[in-house]
């Protein structure tokens, strides 16, 4: 009989970890202070990014850095007061983003990304979530001819190196593919492999329901109550205290808060992001990244979701949605988006590591404690394969990919 396990955090990563553990015979209790998929895994752009073999690097060209510093666009904002605490992790992020280092990291990242479609497919089928998923890719669109030229060169390099598929659309082809587009753009890269989900939070909820049907428990509780108890771990939930020999931390952007009291100082930070839905106009047919504008426009069940880029701030600092009206103005140049659906924008936080790789594996100094967090811009994509990898490591199985690049011990 496999050991019981407590999984802390019911975002995409925690739910998939719990499912994979349950599939291997563990008694699993998934604990979250909210329902499954209500935080970052709810409000993202919903793209299962098979093309994202290269993680998002720190920008290294001065024009871009100047734009960031001046907070001009919809792509980046920051809280001045948060910068002293962020300086260390961001400095390391910048260092790891040197081209040679980034290429090395990308090779490790790509090994996980390669499995995203297969692993999601299995869970989509088992949870009956086919109605939420479109398998037609998405488009990176460009306003400027120079950015389009660069994008074509980058797409060719990535396709040659990693075997992802794409098509180049010139201005005319893009206008035909997206009849609701209000103005001419320079063109687009249509990534053909990715899938898009029209309600990301609902996909996580379906996966969590599958966990329940398979005999796993989903409980409300505060991960902050986690304590060592005997040879294992104990957490307090609404249904009393739960004990297990193993506990997995899958708290996404809140993982650092649990780790610090245990003595782990990882170079973690968050890139917050906002979205708002709009109705009343004709939506795009496929999700579109407005690369020069720094936003994503996605048709969702709730309306057209416009997501912003990154905001560097403390995870729980009050929202400062200054990028949202900028993103709406830019998005409205492309599509008719007359009515905001919600009174207030949604905010979430991408859980980032300085070396752009997630943290998956055994805690270096605590027996029975396991980590699965830090999936940054692609946690929705990577949840299923990361969950599988963690479950395999915990059970001593041969893992789906070499786990060493993601080992928690790599930070020393
Ligand atoms: C605007 C935006 C767009 C994005 N677009 C994409 C995309 O298109 N594709 C993609 O792959 N990724 C995308 N991402 C990234 C992706 O959303 C995240 O990487 C992913 O959701 C992280 O999942 P997670 O399970 O680690 O964290 P979360 O989903 O945040 O889950 C963490 C869970 O921990 C729980 N928790 C926290 N503290 C406690 C506590 N004390 N006690 C109990 N429970 C607690 C929370 O309630 C939450 O349910 C985007 C992110 C943003 C912000």
- Quick one: CA dihedral 63, 68, 72, 75, positive or negative? positive
- The per-residue pLDDT for 64 is 73
Could you identify the atom of ligand 1 that is nearest to the CA of residue 9?
Answer: 34
Question: For the chain, what is the largest distance between any 2 Cα atoms, rounded to a whole number of angstroms?
Answer: 67
- The per-residue pLDDT for 74 is 74
Q: Is 47 in the pocket of ligand 1 (CB under 6 A)?
A: yes
Distance CA 238, CA 102 (A): 44
Distance CA 12, CA 23 (A): 16
Q: Is 330 in the pocket of ligand 1 (CB under 6 A)?
A: no
Mark the ranges of the chain whose per-residue pLDDT is less than 70. Answer: none
Q: Is 41 in the pocket of ligand 1 (CB under 6 A)?
A: yes
Ligand 1, atom 30: closest residue by C-alpha: 40
Q: Is 56 in the pocket of ligand 1 (CB under 6 A)?
A: no
- The per-residue pLDDT for 341 is 98
- The per-residue pLDDT for 361 is 98
- The per-residue pLDDT for 353 is 98
> Per residue, what are the HEC states of the chain?
CCCCEEEECCCHHHHHHHHHHHHCCCCEEEEECCCCCCCHHHHCCCEECCCCCCCCCCCCCHHHHHHHHCCCCCCEEECHHHHHHHHHHHHHHHHHCCHHHHHHHHHHHHHHHCCHHHHHHHHHHHHCCHHHEECCCEEEEECCHHHHHHHHHHHHHHHHHHCCCEEEEEHHHHHHHCCCCCCCCCEEEEECCCEEECCHHHHHHHHHHHHHHCCCEEEEECHHHCEEECCEEEEEECCEEEEECEEEECCHHHHHHHHHHHCCCCCEEEEEEEEEEEECCCCCCCCEEECCCCEEEEEECCEEEEECCEEECCCCCCCCCCHHHHHHHHHHHHCCCCEECCCCCEEEEEEEECCCCCEEEECCCCCCEEEEECCHHHHHHHHHHHHHHHHHHHHCCCCCCCCHHHCHHHHC
- The per-residue pLDDT for 299 is 98
Ligand 1 midpoint to CA 358 (Å) = 13
Could you identify the atom of ligand 1 that is nearest to the CA of residue 380?
Answer: 11
Ligand 1 midpoint to CA 4 (Å) = 24
- The per-residue pLDDT for 71 is 72
Reported as a single tens digit per residue, the pLDDT across 193-232 is 999 999 999 999 999 999 999 999 999 999 999 999 999 9
- The per-residue pLDDT for 99 is 96
Distance CA 148, CA 141 (A): 8
Distance CA 378, CA 400 (A): 18
- The per-residue pLDDT for 68 is 73
Residue whose token pair is 């398998």: 135
Please, what CATH class does the domain formed by 1-57+195-265+355-412 belong to?
A: alpha beta
Q: Is 201 in the pocket of ligand 1 (CB under 6 A)?
A: no
Beta carbons of 351 and 252 less than 8 angstroms apart: yes
- The per-residue pLDDT for 67 is 72
Could you identify the atom of ligand 1 that is nearest to the CA of residue 351?
Answer: 19
């Amino acid at each position: 009989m496999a050991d019981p396990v407590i999984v802390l955090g019911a975002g995409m990563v925690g739910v998939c970890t719990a499912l994979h553990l349950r599939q291997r015979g563990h008694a699993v209790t998934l604990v979250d202070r909210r329902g499954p998929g209500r935080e970052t895994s709810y409000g993202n752009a919903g793209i299962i990014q098979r093309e994202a073999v290269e993680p998002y690097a720190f920008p290294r060209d001065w024009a871009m850095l100047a734009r960031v510093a001046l907070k001009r666009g919809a792509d980046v904002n920051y809280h001045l007061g948060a910068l002293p605490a962020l300086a260390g992790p961001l400095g390391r992020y910048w260092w790891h983003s040197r081209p040679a280092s980034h290429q090395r990291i990308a090779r490790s990242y790509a090994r996980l990304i390669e499995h995203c479609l297969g692993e999601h497919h299995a869970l989509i089928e088992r949870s009956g979530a086919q109605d939420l998923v479109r398998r037609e890719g998405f488009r990176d669109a460009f306003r400027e001819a120079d950015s389009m030229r660069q994008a074509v060169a980058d797409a060719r390099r990535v396709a040659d190196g990693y075997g992802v598929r794409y098509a180049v659309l010139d201005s005319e082809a893009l206008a035909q593919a997206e009849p609701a587009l209000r103005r001419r753009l320079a063109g687009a890269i249509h990534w053909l492999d990715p899938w898009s989900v029209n309600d990301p939070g609902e996909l996580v909820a379906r996966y969590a329901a599958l966990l329940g049907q398979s005999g796993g428990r989903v409980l409300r509780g505060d991960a902050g109550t986690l304590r060592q108890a005997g040879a294992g771990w104990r957490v307090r939930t609404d249904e009393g205290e739960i004990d297990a020999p193993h506990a997995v931390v899958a708290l996404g952007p809140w993982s650092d808060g649990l780790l610090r009291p245990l003595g782990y100082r990882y170079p973690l930070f968050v890139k917050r992001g906002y979205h708002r839905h709009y109705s009343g106009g004709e939506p795009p047919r496929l999700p579109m990244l407005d690369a020069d504008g720094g936003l994503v426009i996605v048709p969702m069940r709730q309306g057209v979701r416009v997501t912003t880029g990154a905001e560097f701030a403390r995870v729980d600092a009050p929202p400062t949605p200054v990028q949202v009206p900028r993103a709406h103005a830019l998005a409205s140049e492309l599509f008719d988006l007359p009515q905001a659906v919600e009174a207030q924008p949604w905010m979430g936080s991408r859980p980032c590591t300085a070396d752009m790789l997630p943290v998956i594996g055994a805690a270096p100094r605590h027996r029975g404690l396991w980590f699965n967090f830090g999936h940054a811009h692609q946690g929705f994509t990577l949840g299923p394969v990361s969950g599988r990898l963690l479950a395999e490591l915990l059970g001593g199985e041969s893992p789906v990919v070499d786990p060493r690049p993601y080992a928690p011990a790599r930070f020393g």
